[in-house]
Amino acid sequence: MSSLVKRLCEVPLLSRVSHLRLCRRKIQNYNICYTVLRHRWMKSLPVLGSSFRQLTTQQDKEAVDMSKFPVDRIRNFCIIAHIDHGKSTLADRLLEMTGAIAKTEKNRQVLDKLQVERERGITVKAQTASLFYTHAGQQYLLNLIDTPGHVDFSYEVSRSLSACQGALLIVDANQGIQAQTVANFYLAFESQLEIIPVINKIDLKNADPERVESQIETVFDIPSEECIRISAKLGTNVEKVLQAVVDRIPPPVGSISDPFKALVFDSNFDHYRGVVANIAVIGGRVNKGDKIVSAHLNKTYEVNELGLLRPDEQPTQKLFAGQVGYLIAGMKDVKEAQIGDTLYLQEQPVEALPGFKPAKAMVFAGMYPMDQSEYPALRSAIERLTLNDSSVTVQKDSSLALGAGWRLGFLGLLHMEVFNQRLEQEYNASVIVTAPTVPYKAVLSSAKLIKEHGREEITIVNPAQFPDKSLVSEYLEPMVVGTILSPDTYTGKIMSLCLSRRAVQKNMVYIDEQRVMMKYLFPLNEIVVDFYDLLKSLSSGYASFDYENAGYQAADLIKMDFLLNGRPVEELTTIVHRASAYSTGKAMCERLKESIPRQLFEIAIQAAIGSKVIARETIKPFRKNVLAKCYGGDITRKMKLLKKQAEGKKKMRRIGNVDVPKDAFINVLKSERHASNVGRKRDKQNGDENNTSDPLVRRGMSK
């Protein structure tokens, strides 16, 4: 070996590189050979050697000794807040102050790593970072988790809280307490975490921290003396936040002497290394090379790599009780790393941790590949993305028009749009997404159907499978309790909007002299698409909205089909309340007319309930002027040409197919809401001879 190395160092540089390539094929133990060559190369080439030495120093930096952080010097905490209250900006300052990242002006939302997060300016995925902080002469390990602020990603928040003992509750000094602030506070409160209120953006011109402190005391019963006033953008008083984390948040419960037990609270898929699991070590210790077992699958793995996230991966040899880090154990299948799983040592079995409650999907939509040949690639992409976003539920589905696909469940419409965007950006997958719907229930009346389904009550996530009224005793629709916080000047407009969505007011409380908190019971179907957008529009952007599940309630529901030239389009089928059926059908037909491109033949767009058409729009065909060459003569000549053209159009309409553009599904549903509200108001104002506001009754349709 040494003679080979000596011979290589004596030849010119170009030849030396070519010899090195040959050695890769010849020498089996290539890693040792490469190390020797590299060191000899540095001695003979000092200019290149210095740059190589610098690179290797960065890559092979000494691993952190995790044993010097006992449980009493560890603090696990997360940052929770309403959207755009400065969580990610505060995380940047904490990373800078503890030396995790270099202090530069380019540090903006460092933990927002996804492209969709950068584009939309929101946090979608909870991110972890470990910080080293010296306080009162002792070095502490602070494990920070930055969480999303939008209601659609509340499952990320609830999972993050399970790995923490405390939370920083950030409130904007200008906007004050918002709906998601309240929701996140109660999530942390139920998890029995120590909550530190932090008032951010005190540098703003209109900031009023005294008012916000009063709100926090009124709504959350936290004394105003415990609030910390900061400016995350300028770094003002951020040091006090770190001191409060050390002094007020308790250390994790656990001991190094206990058997190893770890909770998998997040995971993602790496093409080369397999599944990378984020773990919170509850007790004991784990070393690189240990044999561990997954409680969910009862499979054994060897720990290939483990370490901290600072926020980039920094490998270590061990992790101890109370610490949070990442673990790679050769899991190649996305189904092997279930979020909420328990890991333990092979020789020391332990009782599995309770894990997480499964997320309850609030919105369902069909997802299909643009071409059926792309089905396997899209299936792989969805599996890998659902590993990283476990709140999405997946069921196989098929459509006559679109072929094989999936029926996916999401926590909200924004969640659905972000998931679709991530599929396109991260996996280059182009998909067709159908109109979003909510899960309904039907109580069956037929004994035959009850026996077939095995239960009396069935859940319907696909409107095409909505059972006929003759087969059920009643329909049930999902309800939610919505919380709205707004300046009191907009109360009248907001109440009108809520009433137009069949909402029932529960209570109304003033949290200070100018802001009011209202609670309403909503049908989920009425708010899931564009209620939030309209609320923001009516309140000039000042109102905030959050909702939570409130079970099911009986409702008068009907299935509405949409026909294009007499052919039903299954993907546009929707379930509506009877009172709003006509206005909804009319508005959707109008939107379809705008979305579907004109053809060489006439297209009839119809909304139908059963066999009765309740609304229709017609898309006129492109038409050639066949009379252009007739400059006179008998009328029969012209009639003959027009008749021939009409027969051709008729034949074309019979055999022609109408393609609905893929973006039409969501656009149609989004736009029809406003139009249906206008329709309802118009129907109320006009009235009719029977003095009824039900448009279906006026059109002779019996209930």
Q: Structure tokens of 521?
A: 């019971």
Q: Binding site annotation covers 634? A: no
Strand, helix or coil for residue 611:
coil
251 appears as a binding residue in the annotation: no
Decide: helix, strand or coil at residue 357.
Answer: coil
Q: Give me the torsion for CA of 379, 380, 386, 388, rounded to 10°.
A: -160
CB of 569 closer than 8 Å to CB of 401: yes
Structure tokens at 261: 């037990």
Q: Identify the CA nearest to 216 among candidates 176, 179, 245, 248.
A: 176
CB atoms within 10 A of CB 151: 26
Residue 203 assigned ligand-binding role: yes
| Residue 671, SS3 per DSSP | helix
Cis before 349? omega within 30: no
Residues 6+ apart with CB under 8 A from 568: 561, 562
Q: Is 87 annotated as a binding residue?
A: yes
Would the annotation count 209 as a binding residue? no
Q: Is 609 annotated as a binding residue?
A: no
Please name which of 78, 85, 75 lies closest in space to residue 216, comparing C-alpha atoms. 85
Is 201 annotated as contributing to ligand binding?
yes
Flag whether 268 is marked binding: no
Q: In the numeric block, which tokens belong to residue 489?
A: 């000047």
Name the nearest CA neighbour of 94 among 140, 63, 162. Answer: 140
Residue 85 in marked binding region: yes
Q: Is 208 annotated as a binding residue?
A: no
Q: Is the CB of residue 314 less than 8 Å from the CB of residue 308?
A: yes
Q: Is 453 annotated as a binding residue?
A: no
Q: Measuring CA to CA, how many Å separate 224 from each of 198, 214, 216, 221, 679? A: 10, 7, 7, 9, 49
Separation CA 198–CA 194 (nearest Å): 13
Query: Is 146 known to sit in a ligand binding site?
Result: yes
Q: Is 445 annotated as a binding residue?
A: no
- The CA distance from 462 to 559, in Å, is 11
> 571 and 665 in contact (C-beta within 8 Å)?
yes
Residues in the annotated binding site for GTP: 81-88, 146-150, 200-203
Residues in the annotated binding site: 81-88, 146-150, 200-203
